A and B are shown apart, each in its own frame.
Chain A
Amino acid sequence: MSALDNIAVRVESAGNLTRNALPLLHEIRHALARLAESGESTAIDLRSIPFGPGDEADLLAALGTGEVTAQLQALGESRITETSYPGVWVVDHYNADGQRIAFQVEVTPVPQILAAQPADVADGLQRLEAALAELAEPESRPASL
């Protein structure tokens, strides 16, 4: 317990008063309906929402955790979590210093960033071919290996 915790500040449950979570949940419901009907994906930037203390926790608690949790290591860590509502994902990007750089709700079958990207696939193909080429010519490798 730090000294800060001793200060008698009792934030009146902002979740009940600012109620940012509730309208967001409605927005997500509309987005999910669009996904179900026409397959249209939606992304909501949570950093543009004026969250009061507790709002973010309220929203995440209301969404819950679903079947998929993924970690991405690219320019720092990213956590991609499916909520208890299939098709609703929380995408949380951090930089190498662990600072949040983007925070979104995506309503989509699979967040685009999880899929292997064509450019990376092409790059990977080249590397695999190069590796195989090396394996095919073992005599060219130094004897010490």
Chain B
Amino acid sequence: MDFLLWVRGPAFDVAVAIFLIGVVARLFEILLLGRKPLHSEPKGGEFGNGMAEIFKRSVPLPDIVKRGAVTLVGGYVFHIGLFITIFLFVPHIELINSIFGVRWPGLPNPVVDGVTVVTMVAMVVLLVHRLLQPVKRMLSGFEDYLTWVVTFLPILTGWIAYHRLVNPYPLILGIHILTVELLLIVLPFTKLMHAFTLFLSRWYNGAVYGRRGVQS
């Protein structure tokens, strides 16, 4: 109980602070880097093309579907699953509401439960695939495994807590919150930052191509 109060109190404060400082500082840093001014005559729109690119790039190229089916399907399943478990589970919505004052309807718990299992399976498949594929294994470093672990732990502990597979409940709930805090702290300083930079960079690519009138 003391542990739960600690992770819900001071520890959560520290984690949120590190997370926000990290994310905001990195975004500002990236944006302030700037780009060299383009002096050429614009051959097309920047903004609209950038926005379109965000969606276009979500549709995989046929060649990629053939060559990286596991990565592609697994990646989509686990990212969508992650979104559902984080943002459509009622206790999580309550947490967000308490901080930002906005709330939305959640999904019934058994649905979220099923999605959670699918998400975990997809993540395990991706990890195994990463370990078995020589090319992927060669490309993977410590950071790739670290980010996998810190992403997987909150899902696993949350699922265990929901099903009360570990007693007492306050202990497993505390562990769940602690793993989320770990994720929050690690996120801004690793590849996980792509949660924030992904759409930014896609838009930028699209905008540049649009201005140059290049097909993207």
Find out whether A and B make contact in their complex, taking CB atoms under 8 A apart as touching.
no
* Interface residues, chain A, with chain B CB atoms under 8 Å away: none
Give the A-binding residues of B (Cβ under 8 A). Answer: none
